[in-house]
Each structure stands twice: as C-alpha cells, then as structure tokens.
Amino acid sequence: MAASSVASPLCTWLVAACMSVTCDRDHSTTPSLVSSPRRLSKWARRRKVSAQCSSRSPEFKMGGLIPSFCGSSIQGLMSSCLAFEPCNDYYSSNGLSSLGSNGFSSLFRSNSVATNGRRRRINRAAHSGETVAVAVQPAEEVTTKKKPFTKQRRVVVTGMGVVTPLGHDLDVFYNNLLEGVSGISEIETFDCAQFPTRIAGEIKSFSTDGWVAPKLSKRMDKFMLYMLTAGKKALADGGITEDIMNELDRTKCGVLIGSAMGGMKVFNDAIEALRISYRKMNPFCVPFATTNMGSAMLAMDLGWMGPNYSISTACATSNFCILNAANHIIRGEADVMLCGGSDAAIIPIGLGGFVACRALSQRNSDPTKASRPWDTNRDGFVMGEGSGVLLLEELEHAKKRGAKIYAEFLGGSFTCDAYHMTEPHPDGVGVKLCIEKALAQARVSKEDVNYINAHATSTPAGDIKEYKALVHCFSQNPELKLNSTKSMIGHLLGAAGAVEAVATVQAIRTGWVHPNINLENPDDNVDKNLLVGSTKERLVVKVALSNSFGFGGHNSSILFAPFK
C-alpha cells in the first residue's frame, strides 16, 4: 500500500515530463497509470501542458520509454525518473501540488533551493531559444576528492620464535638446519605398529615452564601450547620487555596465528569420553579444539586488543596469516603483529587420515632419509609438528623503540588452483600466477630474487609442478638457489610456512642457506645447479621468496629482503 500511494503521483509527474518531449505518442495506455477519476482529470491538464511543450521540440521521440516506467516496482520508477526534468510550463501548472505541500523534497529529500535553481536554468534556456525539454541533459556529476598520496607504511621483522623437531631456540634450530641434521624419527607418543607409516618429525622434549601457566598447560591442546610458547619467544627475541609492553598502544597490537588442523587431540579425547558419557567430556573441548583459540588465548595473556583471529588454509595457513598481518600494519590498523602458524597432528587420527590419503612416506627403516624433496626415490611427505611465529612491526615504530631489525617484509599474494582437492594443477598455472602477483604487489623484479625456500614436500607430483613454475618465472636468473626445509623437519602442515619463513629470514640474517639433504639422485626434470647441494652454501640474499601450498588448491607466496 505504501509503495502504491507514492507511485501514483510519481507516475503522474513522470508521464507529464516524458510527454513534454513528444507529440505523436499514442496515449491510449496512459490512463492505466492513474487509478482514480480525480487523477484522470489531472491527466487531462497534463496533456494540455505537454502539447505546448512538444510543439517546441518535435524532434524528440521517446520510443518505448514510457512502458519502461510502468512496471510494478517503485524502485524501477524512481531510478528511471532521475534522468528527466519537466519543462517550465509543467512547473507553472499545479502538477507538483499532487505530491503535497512538500513537493518532491519529501520524496527525494531535496530542498526548495535546488528546485528553484532548476527552474531558473530551464527558464533561461527557454528565453534563449534553446530546446525546453531537458530529458537528454546528464545528471549532475558527483565529484569525489582524491585522497592525498601517502607513503606506504613499511613492515619489518623484529622478532622470531620457534618450536620444532630440531630445537626450540632460534639459533639452535637454524644451526641444525645448516649442519644438515634431520629431525625425522620413529613415533614414540603412541603405538603405531598397525600403520604403514611409523615415522614423523615428532617433538621429543618440550616444556612450557616459564611460558604458559601450569593450569592451562594441563588443559590445552599441544597446538595451542606450541603457539603460545613460540609467540612469547618471538616477543622476547624482539626485545618486548615488560617496560616496553606497558608503553605499547595495545589497541594497535594484534595476533594472527593460524592452524590447519586445530586441537585434534582435545577433540579426539572428547569423542572417547563421549563413548562413556557426556559427563566425562572436558568442558573446554570445544573452545580448545577451534583453530582461532590459540590466537585468542595469546592476546588475552598479553592484553593485546588489536586485530585477532586465525586463518586456516591447510598447509598454506602460515603464509596467509603473515601476509594478512602485514596488511593490517600497512593499512594502519596495527603497529605490531604476532603472526604465523601451529599444528600438532601426530596422533592416531591424524596419522591415519594422511595414510588413508596415501600421501605419506613409508621409509620406516631409515627415517632420516625419508624426506627427500626433488630426489628420484621420494615416496611421499613426512608429517611434522611445531610452531613458528614472527613479530612484524611498522618500521618507524620499531626504530622509535630501538628494535633490532632482521629483515623487511616486502609483500606477497594468494591464488587458488580451482582444480582438485589434493592434486596440484598439471600446468602449475595457479602457482605461476601467485608468484607473479606477489612480485607485482611487492614491486620486485624477477632478477632480484636469488633465494627461494620452496614448498617442496617430497611428493612425486608436487615437487616437480612447483619446480617448473619456479623455472618459468625465474629462468633468467643465474644466481637463483632453491632449498626445502622439509627435507630435515618434515611437513609441519599449518605451521610449515611460518617455520620456513623463519629459516628464510635467518638466511638473510646470516648469509648462509641450508642444504637439501637426501638429494642423492635428483629428478630428471630438475637442474641440480639451481638446488642447494648437500652442504650449506654462502649466499648474499637480495630478495627471498617463500612458497606454501595447501589442500584445496590454496597457493601463497611471500617475499623478504635485507633491511636497507
């Protein structure tokens, strides 16, 4: 009813305005626009006015325009009418009175000054001999002020923390990588004799003492314990003391640490308890199983009120979190961000699930040789666990507090293969696009990239698809060197990208890149001169690229460089 009550006088005005530019239109259908004898009498007056206007401008023809106004939708009527103005004779009639004392101001929220201005413009046109009808005049342009150019905020790495199969101290971890030490061993946490795969990058000794409250340590899933510990180690490494913490604007400090698998152990234990009774279930099983709760608990512990959430994109999780955290800083939504990933899926259901996918290596007799990216005899990836966290900071903020700067984060990108749940695209088109977009976003030329920490997981298909994409993008760079951290620690799933980002920043910091162990017989499709050999190599890194890809076709690439 409300729409029809407005539509009737509106149609009256519309038709009069349209008829002011035509005199030879058949009017047989127009009465249908009016729903009462009173409206019909007003229509007769409009025809007189429109006849006078049309005699002045016979050249305008409306064709099938009027029928387009006659739909049942008031929105359609209003959107159509905005391009037309009635002639001055129509204003001199009492046509506007049908809309009440407020006229069109009540309908379009315009004021009387604007209406009078239009009448003056039309009157001037009439006296100057110009065509009276203004149906073809464009609507007034909406001008928007351009935002003043502001220099983009730069993002730097000022702290790092890790929990890995090769150590939980930053320097211990990277020195083990440089020495080619393998963290792959037989699984000891549970009896896995029934599984065809019985090896993993399992963390053998881990303590939360001094990092997590004992009460929480007993309740939380390991993925959260790894995350909180690595996050606080990154803060300590970044020199965020208690005094500095008190000086921070906590509304501009955020946490963005993700997980691919979440609290699998907590959830699995809840299912086992449910077999007995729901009363036996851990009341924290739901919140402690969700992937976001690690970031939330760390923020609660620190009192950080800035951006706080987690991203879960399978094995590309960490890179997604790092890039989004950097974007929060660039946009001015945060000055400091803890970001990365954490996973702890080496439990029966986790191992069994990947065995069912036929994705894991079965080289149980020689665990340290199982993970062998780009080697001819690779037979699948090796599961790992742990966490990696980077402390990202806005450059001027870092300088102001005198922070040490490890490297600069240049940018990155994401794409999707949109091809298969677990298999990479045969042509590697998604990976190529991701790398090229990352370079463009970071304003980096291909020739400047001379080190790549590849995703290479030791799977027959994945390693070669990524390698070919990298050659396609960087074949003109003779200095390029590739390695895979997974050859020593296995695949840390959602934490892989963050731990590998730490290794990448350490390569920039130290000038050494770690070896590719177990690369005994390089695949025929790879050029071994591009790959780091069996021992560490000296390299002055110009720009470093780190790739992470995940089930679902998720591709991610991020770029780091020495700070200058």
Instruction: Give pLDDT, residue 104.
Output: 39
pLDDT in tens, 159-216: 999 999 999 999 999 999 999 999 999 999 999 999 999 999 999 999 999 999 999 9
- Percent helix, strand and coil across the chain, each rounded to 5? 40, 15, 40
Instruction: Give pLDDT, residue 239.
Output: 97
DSSP string for 483-520: E-THHHH-B-GGGHHHHHHHHHHHHHHHSEE---TT-S
Whether the pLDDT of residue 295 is over 50: the answer is: yes
Instruction: Give pLDDT, residue 476.
Output: 83
> Which residues are catalytic, by number?
315, 455, 491
Whether the pLDDT of residue 341 is over 90: the answer is: yes
Whether the pLDDT of residue 129 is over 50: the answer is: no
Whether the pLDDT of residue 556 is over 50: the answer is: yes
Lowest mean pLDDT among 148-157, 212-221, 371-380, 451-460: 148-157
Lowest mean pLDDT among 57-61, 257-261, 333-337, 484-488: 57-61
Q: For the residues 344-352, what does the mean pLDDT come to?
A: 96
**Bridge-partner residues for 545, per DSSP?**
452, 559
CA dist., res. 270 & res. 349, Å (int): 13
Residue 450, helix vs strand vs coil: strand
Whether the pLDDT of residue 83 is over 50: the answer is: no
The band of 475, judged by pLDDT with boundaries at 50, 70 and 90, is confident
Instruction: Give pLDDT, residue 150.
Output: 62
Strands (E), 351-406: 386-394
**pLDDT cut 70: percent of the chain above it:** 73
Q: For the chain, give the mean pLDDT.
A: 82
Phi and psi dihedrals of 522, rounded to 5? -55, 140
Instruction: Give pLDDT, residue 39.
Output: 44
CA dist., res. 436 & res. 441, Å (int): 9
CA dist., res. 206 & res. 165, Å (int): 10
CA dist., res. 114 & res. 120, Å (int): 10
The band of 33, judged by pLDDT with boundaries at 50, 70 and 90, is very low
Query: For the chain, how big is the Rg over CA atoms in Å?
Result: 34
The band of 460, judged by pLDDT with boundaries at 50, 70 and 90, is very high
Lowest mean pLDDT among 65-79, 218-232, 240-254: 65-79
Helix (H) or strand (E) holding 548: strand 543-550
**Which amino acid type is present at position 351?**
L
- The separation between CA 339 and the C-alpha centre of its own chain, rounded to angstroms, equals 14
* Block residue for tokens 């390299």: 539
Instruction: Give pLDDT, residue 31.
Output: 43
Instruction: Give pLDDT, residue 145.
Output: 52
DSSP string for 191-214: --TTSS--EEB-------TTTS-H
For the chain, the first-to-last Cα distance in angstroms comes to 68
Q: For the residues 316-331, what does the mean pLDDT come to?
A: 98
CA dist., res. 416 & res. 559, Å (int): 19
Whether the pLDDT of residue 444 is over 60: the answer is: yes
Instruction: Give pLDDT, residue 543.
Output: 98
Whether the pLDDT of residue 7 is over 70: the answer is: no
Instruction: Give pLDDT, residue 424.
Output: 87
CA dist., res. 189 & res. 484, Å (int): 26
pLDDT in tens, 429-442: 999 999 999 999 99
Contact of 179 with 173, CB cutoff 8 Å = no
Please choose, from the candidates 381, 412, 405, the residue with its C-alpha nearest in 3D space to the C-alpha of residue 391. 405
Whether the pLDDT of residue 73 is over 70: the answer is: no
Whether the pLDDT of residue 353 is over 70: the answer is: yes
Instruction: Give pLDDT, residue 151.
Output: 77
Q: Long-range contacts made by residues 213-220, C-beta under 8 angstroms, separation at least 24?
A: 216/297, 219/282, 219/284, 219/288, 220/263, 220/266, 220/288, 220/297
Q: For the residues 78-86, what does the mean pLDDT come to?
A: 43
Q: For the residues 132-151, what does the mean pLDDT come to?
A: 49
Instruction: Give pLDDT, residue 148.
Output: 53
Q: Which domains does the chain have, with CATH numbers?
A: 157-562 (3.40.47.10)
Query: For 372-492, where are the alpha helices, taking DSSP H only?
Result: 395-400, 429-442, 460-474, 486-489
- 262: number of Cβ within 10 Å: 26
Q: For the residues 83-112, what does the mean pLDDT come to?
A: 44
The band of 548, judged by pLDDT with boundaries at 50, 70 and 90, is very high
Lowest mean pLDDT among 226-230, 264-268, 432-436: 264-268
